[in-house]
Amino acid sequence: MALNLGDIVPDFTAETTEGPISFYEWLGDSWGVLFSHPKNFTPVCTTELGEVAKLKPEFDKRGVKVIGLSVDQLSNHGQWVADIKDATGATLNFPLIADHDKKVANLYGAIHPNVSDTATVRSVYVIGPDKKLKLTLTYPASTGRNFAEILRVIDSLQLTAKFSVATPVNWTNGEDVIIVPAVSDEAAKEKFPGGWKTVKPYLRVVAQPGTN
């Protein structure tokens, strides 16, 4: 199954390092990040899980729940969690799904036959409170994911869901944004009474709303 942006993501039940969960119930009204791993005891994924554990306060601050997935037995997760702490200094502080039967991986289209018939590719799914897919990123096994970039994208997604703006190249939270073309100049005067800079008729730059 291929998931497209805007699709409602599948619900599922699974065993995790924090006990059994029903995904929708676990997620509640929060934003969520689900990220997959081929299996336990893989070196790149070990570094990633440690980094997400360190960044969890940043996800919490944004109202985002994080959950990992590995196509391996729950009985193996405990030793991997210990290895992650030993290797990265971080204690796992979010659930890690045991997806040994590949049920969740197949639901989310995380197995790409041209790469491997059995192992999940290393995908990231950002899910909104409406249970719709807002972002997906897929990395090869050889390249570690950049979770600072994922936080940056979440900042953009949350901002643009609330205001009629888009974020420009390399934008980070607090920087100027772009008024979306669907908003006329007349409507923009009401939405952005402080004014904006017109670079081109279709490119109107304004201070990030909601920062004061």
Answer yes or no: pTM beyond 0.85: yes
* Contacts with 25 (C-beta within 8 Å, 6 or more apart), sequence order: none
The residue segments making up the domain with residue 137 are 13-146
What is the tens place of the pLDDT at every residue in 78-113? 788 898 999 999 999 999 999 888 899 889 988 765
Shared domain check, 80 and 182: no
What is the tens place of the pLDDT at every residue in 182-208? 999 999 999 999 999 999 999 999 999
Catalytic residue among 9, 45, 69, 121: 45
Residue 188 backbone phi and psi in degrees, to 5: -65, -30
What is the tens place of the pLDDT at every residue in 1-26? 578 999 999 999 999 999 999 999 99
Q: Give the pLDDT confidence score for residue 114 in this predicted structure.
A: 52
Of 142, 128, 133, the residue nearest 107 (C-alpha): 133
Active site residue 5: no
Shared domain check, 83 and 137: yes
First to last CA, the chain: 43
Shared domain check, 107 and 76: yes
In-domain check, residue 154: no
